Structure 1
Amino acid sequence: MRIVREARRVVRIVRDTRGATIIEFAVVAPVMILLIMGLSDLAYQGYIMSILDGAMQKAGRDSTIQGNDTTPSGAAIDQKVMASVWLVMKSATYVSSRKSYSQFGNIAPESFRDDNGNKVYDAATECFTDVNGNKTWDADPGASGQGGASDVVVYKMTITYPRLFPMAGLAGLSQTVTNSSTTYLKNQPYAGQVSYTPTLVCP
C-alpha cells in the first residue's frame, strides 16, 4: 500500500508542469535578447548611414558652387554633414577627404603599356599616360582638395561611433562602428578649367 502511494506521488510530481515556463524562459530569453540587440544595432547602423548619405548628397551639391573650393569652406561643409549625424549620435567623430580630377575618366590608375604582361607598372621599362602632369605613374592621380572650375571631385566622409549596445565585445565585435559615404560631383563651370593634356611618358 505504501509503495502504491509513493508511486502515485511520483506520478503527480512528474505530471506537475507548474514552473516549467520559467525554466523555458530562462533558456530562451538570453538568445532572444541577444538576437533583438543584434538586429537593433544593425537597424541603427542603417539609420545612421541613411542620414550620412543624405547629408553627403546635399554637401556634394553645395561643394560645387564657386567659393566653396577653399579649405575653410570645406571645413564648414564637413560640419554641416556632421550636424545631421550628431542629431542621432552625438559622440561620432569624422575624417573627411577630397580629391579632384580633370574628368570622371581619370578616377582610376594611370594607364600604362604592359609590355611584359604582368599587369603591374614597371617604371624601368614601360610607358604610361601622365594625366596630372607630375611625370610619375600614379595609382591615384587625383589632387588633394576641392579643385577648381569644372573639376570632378570625390568627397568622402568616414565616421566612427560607439555601438548602440556595449555588449558587442561578447560576440568578438569591436565596440565602435566605422562607416564611410562617398559622393562624386563636378564643380560648376564658374571659370575656365585649368587642366593638363595627358602625355605619354617613357623611361
Structure 2
Amino acid sequence: MTRPSLTHSLRRFGDQDGTAITEFGLIAPIFLLLMLGALDLAHTLYMQGVLQGVVQKAARDSTLESGQEEGTQVAINQKIETQVKRLAANADVTISRRNFYSYTKAAQAVAEPYNDNNGNGICDGGEPFQDNNANGVRDADGGSAGQGGTQAAVVLTVDVQYPRFFPLDKMIGLSGKVHLSAKTVLTNQPYGQKPGEPVPVVRNCP
C-alpha cells in the first residue's frame, strides 16, 4: 500500500484552511447580527424598566397637594425627560395626564356615548353626545386632561421614541426608532373635600 506523499498531505491541509475561512465568512455576519440584536433587545428592556420606575415615582410626586401647581408639574416633567435622556440623548418624550372621578372609571376608560347620525364613526356635525364628566368636550376615554382635583384618579402616561443604537433597521428591516410607553394610575391625596360626581349633560359635537 502506497503512503501519501508529504506534498499531497500539505495540499490537503491547505485545502482545509480555505474551507475554514469560507465557513467563518458565512457564519460571522449571522453571529454579528445575533449579537447586535441581543444588545439592542437588552437595552430596550432596560430602558422600559427604567421608564416604568421613573413614571411611578413621578406619579407619586404628582398626587401630592403641591402637584396641582403648574410649576410643580413642569418640574416633574423635566425630571422625567432628564432621566430618560441620560440613557437616550436623542429621545423624544411625550407626557400626558388624564384624570377621572374614580379609580374604577380610570380602569374602564369608557368613551362617552354619542349618536352617529351620519354613520362616519366620528362625533361631528352637531351630533349629540353625553358629556359624563361635564368638561364640555367628548372624551374617548371618559376622562379629562390634567391632574384633576382631590381624590381624582390620575393616569400618567409617558411615551418615548429614540433612534436605535445599532443599524438593525437596515440589516433586517426593523423600524429605525424604538417606541416605548409607560403608564400608571394613582389617586390624588385627599387634601380637601372630594367634589360630587359630575351630572351628565347632553351636548353637541362641533
- With structure 2 as the length reference, what TM-score do the two structures score? 0.77
Partners of 1:200 and 1:99 lie apart in 2 by 20
Partners of 1:99 and 1:53 lie apart in 2 by 17
Question: Does the CA-based 8 Å contact 1:69-1:147 persist in structure 2?
Answer: yes
Amino acid at match of 1:154: V
Describe the SS at the equivalent of 1:170.
Answer: helix
Partners of 1:197 and 1:145 lie apart in 2 by 16
Describe the SS at the equivalent of 1:141.
Answer: coil
CA RMSD after TM alignment: 3.3
Moved more, 159-168 or 141-150: 159-168
With over 3 angstroms needed to count, the CA separation of the structure-2 counterparts of 1:122 and 1:97, relative to structure 1, is: closer
Partners of 1:27 and 1:112 lie apart in 2 by 60
Partners of 2:175 and 2:166 lie apart in 1 by 11
Describe the SS at the equivalent of 2:197.
Answer: coil
CA deviations over 1:38-88 (Å, ceiling 9, x no partner)? 111011001111111111111111011012123322121111122222222
Alignment-derived partner of residue 3 in structure 2: none
Partners of 2:8 and 2:173 lie apart in 1 by 46
Describe the SS at the equivalent of 1:185.
Answer: strand
Moved more, 9-18 or 29-38: 9-18
Amino acid at match of 2:78: Q
Q: Which aligned runs of 4 or more in structure 1 are off by greater than 6 angstroms?
A: 8-12, 120-123
Say if 2:22 is the partner of 1:23. yes
Moved more, 171-180 or 59-68: 171-180
Alignment-derived partner of residue 175 in structure 2: 174
Describe the SS at the equivalent of 2:151.
Answer: coil
Structure 1 residues 1-203: aligned runs within 5 Å: 13=11, 16-107=15-106, 108-110=109-111, 130-134=131-135, 138-199=139-200
Describe the SS at the equivalent of 2:16.
Answer: coil
Partners of 2:74 and 2:137 lie apart in 1 by 30
1:155 Cα deviation from its structure 2 partner: 0.5
Question: Does the CA-based 8 Å contact 1:110-1:128 persist in structure 2?
Answer: no
Amino acid at match of 1:103: S
CA deviations over 1:151-191 (Å, ceiling 9, x no partner)? 11011011111112134223222221111111111000001
Question: Does the CA-based 8 Å contact 1:44-1:164 persist in structure 2?
Answer: no
Partners of 2:196 and 2:46 lie apart in 1 by 40
Where do 5+ consecutive residues of structure 2 fail to align?
1-5, 115-120
Figure out how many residues of one structure are paired with residues of the other and give that number. Answer: 193
Amino acid at match of 1:168: D
Moved more, 187-196 or 28-37: 187-196
Where do 5+ consecutive residues of structure 1 fail to align?
1-7, 114-119
- With structure 1 as the length reference, what TM-score do the two structures score? 0.78
